[in-house]
């Protein structure tokens, strides 16, 4: 079966690991499924969400509603998530709200973002502002 079908159609319907192995290699290049529970489907889901969150940019027309659709789609398949950078416009509190099996989460703020020091709250409620925005 071709791996060119949209993920929102194939993900709930296909559990065949060799299909997801081919999809991962085509979509993400060399990936190590050992870091994703030895499941190619989980590897695909975690890398897909990581890319969506990392590349989220309101200026390019990205909307939270589109990402929430995929958060719901991958709801039970995300266990380990490492987000290297994320936009100040991304609602980071959506991650623990949607992924019920999440056991490991690593977040790193973008170097062009800084923390809003006016509020002293936990990580999921921190407000970030752009480098050029006033605090």
Q: Is residue 81 part of a domain?
A: yes
**Quick check: 6 pLDDT over 90?**
yes
Rounded to two decimals, what is the model's pTM? 0.76
Question: Measured on CA atoms in the order 119, 125, 127, 128, is the torsion positive or negative?
Answer: positive
Tell me: pLDDT of 134 over 50.
Answer: no
Residue 135 domain-assigned (yes or no): no
**Residue partners of 81: CB distance under 8 A and separation at least 6:** 46, 49, 50, 95, 99, 102, 104, 105, 106
The mean pLDDT value of the chain amounts to 81
**What are the DSSP calls for the chain, one per residue?**
--S-S-HHHHTTT---HHHHHHHHHHHHSS--GGGGTT-HHHHHHHHHHHHHHHT--GGGT--HHHHHHHHHHTTTT--EEEES---TTS-TTHHHHH-TT--EEEE---TTEEE-TT----GGG--EEETTS--
When pLDDT is cut at 50, 70 and 90, the band that residue 135 belongs to is very low
Q: What is the pLDDT of residues 43-96, one digit of tens each?
A: 999 999 999 988 888 878 888 888 899 999 999 999 999 888 887 778 888 888
CA distances from 119 to 17, 96, 112, 124, 135 (A): 45, 21, 19, 12, 11
Q: Residue 41's domain spans which residues?
A: 7-130
- Our count of domains for the chain comes to 1
């Amino acid at each position: 079966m071709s791996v060119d079908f949209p993920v929102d159609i194939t993900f709930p319907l296909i559990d065949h690991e060799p299909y997801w192995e081919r999809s991962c290699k085509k979509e993400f290049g060399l990936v190590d499924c050992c870091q994703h529970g030895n499941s190619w489907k989980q590897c695909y889901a975690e890398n897909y969400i990581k890319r969506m969150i990392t590349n989220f940019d309101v200026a390019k027309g990205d909307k939270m509603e589109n990402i929430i659709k995929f958060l719901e789609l991958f709801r039970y398949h995300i266990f380990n998530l490492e987000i290297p950078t994320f936009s100040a416009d991304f609602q980071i509190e959506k991650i623990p709200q949607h992924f019920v099996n999440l056991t490991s989460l690593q977040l790193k703020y973008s170097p062009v973002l800084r923390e809003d020091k006016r509020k002293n709250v936990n990580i999921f409620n921190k407000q970030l502002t752009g480098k050029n925005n006033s605090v």
